[in-house]
Structure 1
Amino acid sequence: MVHPAESQSDHFDPSQHATGDAHEPLRGGFTSTRFVLVEPSHPGNVGAAARAIKTMGFSRLVLVAPRVAQVQLDPEAIAMASGADDVLAAAHIVPTLADALAGTHWSLALTARMREYGPPPAAPRHAVQDACRQVAHGDIALVFGNERTGLSNEDVERCSALAHIPANPAYSSLNLAQAVQVLAYELRLAYLDEGGAGAALPAAGGAAASGTAGTGTPLATSDDIERMYVHLENALIALDFLDPANPKKLMSRLRRLFARSGLEREEVNIVRGIAKHILMLKGTDSDK
């Protein structure tokens, strides 16, 4: 463990490794990427995660229901941040993962184990290539679970893609902050390989600035998609296609299907229009 009182000269300065002016602030994907920690238990890990992302040029840290209230003020968190106090202090605290993903259109969940449902996992180096493509359309998020239990199946299904760090199978345990560091490092390299710190997003006024796909059609945000799932589930229940008392894995499979498609806002509206019409015919219209 590195002592929190180490000198500032020992800190890695990400700006010195960016292309162009060494003092030019990182932008583009670096400012459009959120690092989300779901129910972190240990303040030290939160501080270390803040340090991990700052060393790679990122700054947006989101905490979902941390176990310690006001964890940004915890002495252990501050000590482990070790110079990333600004990132720690600016961390956004929200009650649910849905709140953390609000406004994003793509998210990557990190998991230490294989899942029966959800998108197939990819190694970080492959997963961040997809992140590079997705960040051109707006905010994205990297999602990490609790130190003890990781992410729930529900949390994984809410995300667009899944990553797994191929660690030593005989001892694959990574600390939360270490996992954050691995993903932040891979994502940094991928963003810079795209042509510079700002290359992940085109110039203002381009497709990415307006959150559109290559066709000019806006991509759906995470909250748009979640409302679509609620609407679709209600329609399937109204059709007696889905038994709420015995749902099995229908909605999980549908989530996996749609996660592979990269939904545009217009496509979400089409699905919701179908669901609305079904509910109207059944006399149970509920536009959620």
Structure 2
Amino acid sequence: MISSNQPGPAPADPSHDSTRFVLIGTSHPGNVGSVARAMKVMGFSDLVLVAPRFADVLSREETVAMASGAADILVRARIVPTLAEALDGVTHACATAMTPRDFGPPTVAPRPHFEQLARQGDRVAFVFGCERYGMSNDDVYRCHTCLSIPSNPAYGSLNLAQAVQVLAYEWRQALGGFPVAPRTEDVTLADAVAVQGALTHWEGALTSIGFLDPAAPRKLMPRLQQLANRARLSVEEVQILRGIARLVQQPRPPKAKPLTPGQAGHPDATLDGPPRPA
């Protein structure tokens, strides 16, 4: 599950929500629940169903389960018999259909159309057809525009709830999105003296392991200086770097000489005599 870091509460009353989502002839309860969830995530609340397959679809177990916390959208949703009733009060209806209709409204891509629509102050409805057949010609003709979501030409099939989520996101972005609280971190940046001290420490450490040749430094330290400046090191990070440099400069214990055959501890040695023959 993907969680959003830009939460926005849905309006408490759908009468104050200027955006309506209309589902025509929906046949799968799970889709209705998923649509409610998609709407709530984007801060919308006005859901209207036109002649769904099941009259009790809003209260079915699968619907509520797929809503996953958006049951309040289902409680406020309405069921009406016709699209005309669903569009009551709407000033701009957007049909969703992959195939343009002859003599129908203009077909547009969502994003550029939404940029213009958001400036007009309309009461907007997004209209979705049933899962199997989409929208009828008569239903499309009632709308002002027909939205076509850009997709793979070889496979443009979107699940109903997926289509709602895409359009709800694009419309929310066109409306200005949600305010994002600035992330504040309790970080104290190291001053120039501390950074220079760490670099000097690292210069000694790199020299001790042979990585830096003082006779031919090849601009290594100026490059590390620029790296540190870009990194905007914190006080804690400088302490970590100096701790590493300190450990690098500690003398290492001498390597143990390998054991010879016959010497105590060698795998071929015996307790009572010379090495065992191979």
Band of TM-score, shorter chain: 0.5 to 0.7
2:14 aligned with 1:54, yes or no?
no
Going from structure 1 to structure 2, the CA distance change for 1:12 and 1:27 (only over 3 Å counts) comes to farther
Quote the RMSD (CA, aligned, Å). Answer: 2.7
Contact kept, 8 Å, 1:56 with 1:185, in 2: the verdict is yes
Letter in 1 for 2:158: L
Partner residue of 1:103?
89
When residues 82 and 88 of structure 1 are mapped into structure 2, their CA distance, relative to the original with a 3 A threshold, is same
Q: CA deviation at 1:28?
A: 11
TM-score by length of 2: 0.59
- CA–CA distance in 2 between the matches of 1:184 and 1:26? 18
> Aligned equivalents of 1:29 and 1:71: distance in 2?
22
Q: What pairs with 1:199-210 in structure 2 (closer than 5 Å)?
A: none
Give the Cα separation in 2 of the matches to 1:78 and 1:182.
Answer: 21
Partner of 1:84: 70
Q: 1:141 aligns with which of 125, 130, 135?
A: 125
Q: Relative contact order, CA 8 A, sep 6+: which one is greater?
A: 1
Stretches of structure 1 that go unaligned for 5 or more consecutive residues are 3-9, 17-22, 198-288
- Give the drift of 1:30: 7.9
Query: In structure 2, do the counterparts of structure 1 residues 59 and 167 end up closer, same or farther at CA, with 3 Å as the change threshold?
Result: same
Match of 1:283 in 2: none
Return the alpha-carbon distance in structure 2 between the equivalents of residues 27 and 90 of structure 1.
Answer: 8
**Cα distance in 2, alignment partners of residues 59 and 24 from structure 1:** 6
Closer, same or farther: CA 192–30 of 1 in aligned 2, 3 Å:
farther
Identify the residue that residue 180 of structure 1 maps to in structure 2.
Answer: 164
Out of 152, 175, 184, which is 2:136 matched to? 152
% identical equivalent positions:
53
The 3 A distance-change label for structure 1 pair 98 and 28 is closer
Deviation, 1:127, is 2.4
Which ranges of structure 2 fall in alignment gaps of 5 or more residues?
181-278
| Equivalent AA in structure 2 for residue 12 of structure 1 | S
State the shift of 1:112 in Å.
1.7
After TM superposition, give the deviation of residue 25 of structure 1 in Å.
6.1
Residue-pair matches, total: 180
How far the C-alpha of 1:140 sits from its partner, in A, is 1.7
Give 1:114 deviation, angstroms: 2.2
1:13 to partner: Cα distance: 6.3
Give me the whole-angstrom Cα distance separating, in 1, the residues matched to 2:175 and 2:166. Answer: 14
Residues 1:72 and 1:147: Cα distance change in structure 2 (over 3 Å): same
- Alignment CA distance shift 1:13-1:77 (3 Å): farther
**1:57 & 1:48 partners in 2: Cα distance?**
14
Partner of 1:270: none
